[in-house]
Homo-oligomer: A and B are copies of this chain.
Amino acid sequence: MSLRHALLGVLHDGPASGYDLLRVFRLSLGNSWPATQSQVYTELSRLAAAGLLDVSAEGARGRKEYSLNEAGRLELRRWLLETKPERHPRSEALLRVFILGALTRAEAREYVAWLGQSAADEGVMLRHLESSVTWDDDEIAVHGRLVMEYGKRLWAMTEEWAEWAVKEIGAEEAGEGSESAEASGSAEASELSAEG
């Protein structure tokens, strides 16, 4: 389980509450490994119960500050050194590219163009974030910078790829688009379909 070790990893840098950790996920770590509020609090309880974390302080409003203890440090090292990472990120954006044949060319082109624009936006955001962060010299800063650089390169690459791909898809031919172009009437609400 990665969330567990993500938590241990961030706590290696110093004690923090669930709320603090949630902010880390929202602002930086969440770009590589998202986590919900519910998940973080549940997992912190479990980690404390399992003896990998200590509650090192309790503050106002029920705040609990967790600290990595020796058992936690060992488990974190064990995970980093002895387990093989999953190298392939799971990318919904790319899955969609794969099945773009279900759309007309114009629609497919539009999607890829949107991906490119999103990538450009992410790049802008990252450059903005970079200039706003105080890069003090601690461990998290060093490795945070590595991840940020990866992000910058990733979004730049994605933007360029999207430009290339849009050209590759080419112009819509009149009357093209296969049968999928005619959206027929009856939608026959299925038992599935949930997301917005």
Interface of A toward B, CB cutoff 8 Å: 1-2, 4-6, 8-10, 12-13, 28-34, 46-47, 49-52, 70-71, 73-81, 83, 85-103, 107-108, 111-112, 115, 118, 122, 138-140, 142-147, 149-150, 153-154, 157-158, 160-161, 164-165, 168-169, 178, 180, 183-184, 187-188, 190-196
Contact = CB atoms under 8 A, between A and B. Distances in A.
A138 B102 CA distance: 12
A95 B107 CA distance: 34
A51 B193 CA distance: 12
A146 B168 contact: yes
B77 A180 contact: yes
A87 B93 CA distance: 6
Nearest to A194: B1
